[in-house]
Amino acid sequence: MPLASAPDHSTDETTKESVRVYTKAEVKAHDKSDDCWVVIHGSVYDVTDFLESHPGGPEVISTISGGNVTEDFEEIGHSDEARRQAKAHRIGVLEGHEESQGIPMNSELGTNAGVISMGVLPVILIAGVAYLAYHVMSSS
């Protein structure tokens, strides 16, 4: 009887270390709060130990675990600090995404989440409302 083959690995060019490649079925098997994996931008993260400290609460992640949560992750507008913290939980890449380097920073995506998180957006909104109010009042 032949022995089972070793898991596929690819090389992470930035660290020259072997990176584990997971299938969708393998990730799907980790969809519980005590065994919680997610896929973000093609990388696989074991976030089991992070659930309780997640700022949005553990259920935010545990209810969508076992699959690709990239869209959910990006819709929230996570800060660059959150993106850096995620690196500690990266355990590999999803099959077909062997080139994935993990979660890109906001500057790499061209998003303005950093500006919004600094509180600039409310100031801009208030200034806009004040400007409109001034023009409405002065035209009366």
Residue 53: inside a domain: yes
Domain shared by 36 and 98, yes or no: yes
- Specify the higher pLDDT residue, 26 or 9: 26
In a domain, 1, yes or no: no
pLDDT for 112: 52
Q: Which residues pair with 31 in a beta bridge?
A: 36
User: Can you give the pLDDT at residue 26?
Assistant: 98
Question: Between 138 and 29, whose confidence is greater?
Answer: 29
Residues 117 and 83 in one domain: no
Domain assignment of residue 44, yes or no: yes
pLDDT in tens, 20-71: 999 999 999 999 999 999 999 999 999 999 999 998 899 999 899 999 999 9
Q: Report how many domains make up the chain.
A: 2
pLDDT reading at 131 higher than 80: no
* Structure confidence by residue, pLDDT tens digits, 93-122: 999 988 878 888 887 776 554 444 455 556
Shared domain for 96 and 116, answered yes or no, is: no
Q: Which domain holds residue 137?
A: 112-140
